[in-house]
Amino acid sequence: MVSADLARIVIGVIGNIISIILFLSTVPTFHRIWKRKSVERFSPVPYLVTFVNCGLLVFYGLPFVQPHSLLLSTTNGAGFVIESIYLFIFIFYSDRKKRIMVSLALLVEIIFLSVLVVLILTLTHTLKIRAVIVGGISIAGNIMMYASPLSIMKTVITTKSVEYMPFLLSVFCFANGICWLSFALIRFDPFVAIPNGLGALFGLAQLILYATFYKSTQEMIARRESKGELTPENVARPTSPINGQLELV
């Protein structure tokens, strides 16, 4: 019989793989930015949010905050590095005004994370208190990121089209939520279970919408193609692998 700890490790490793795939799903966006030497209409907000949230979860998963959760630190550590690269590219190819705004926002996030780490390690001396404080802050960020697809789901229902809600992104968001929810339930951790439970529900809702409106979407695209109305400018691209948002380019 497989032990609970072994099952948790296996699920955590699978969750790491899925999460990294999600992080890397934004590579085409930044390849476009690099190729065109411009951020165009892309927003830095998803990357800034993911950056600070990954930083929080790296800290939360360390043994001196939440024991037995190191796999949280590894996956979010990879995300932290990837988002740092994304933000560096974004800043480099932004105009002067946007470069200053994004740089200042990034600096504020780095200061916030640094101050939080110092305060937690110097003023709190029990794992329980550390986990509650860091987990409480990170849970809010997770819920905000997982809830962000709601606006896109509203668009899908209104337009009866899933053209701007990529199927694979929805699948991986659902799988990611399920993996980390299972990870949290084996050795119960509400700070991981709650946001990922909600994430799994949002992902499932997106898949249901996709199945419901897939046929009508294909019919719409076929009609537009026959009229010559479908152009590259109408294509939607994913921005953040975590929050499931889209950017129209």
Mean pLDDT by 10 residues, the chain (249 residues): 80 89 84 88 80 91 89 91 94 92 95 95 91 88 69 80 75 88 89 87 89 87 74 41 35
Give the 3-state secondary structure of residue 43: coil
Look at residues 228, 233, 178 and name the one whose alpha carbon lies nearest to residue 203.
178
Phi-psi label, residue 248: left if phi above 0, alpha if psi -120 to 50, beta otherwise: beta
> What span, in angstroms and rounded, lies between the C-alpha atoms of 73 and 183?
13
Q: Give residues with Cβ within 8 angstroms of 23, minimum separation 6.
A: 78, 79, 82, 83, 241, 242
* Residue 121 pLDDT: 93
Question: Is pTM, for the whole model, over 0.85?
Answer: no
Interval 22-39: pLDDT, tens:
888 788 888 888 998 998
Q: Give residues with Cβ within 8 angstroms of 63, minimum separation 6.
A: 70
Interval 213-236: pLDDT, tens:
888 888 888 887 887 755 444 444
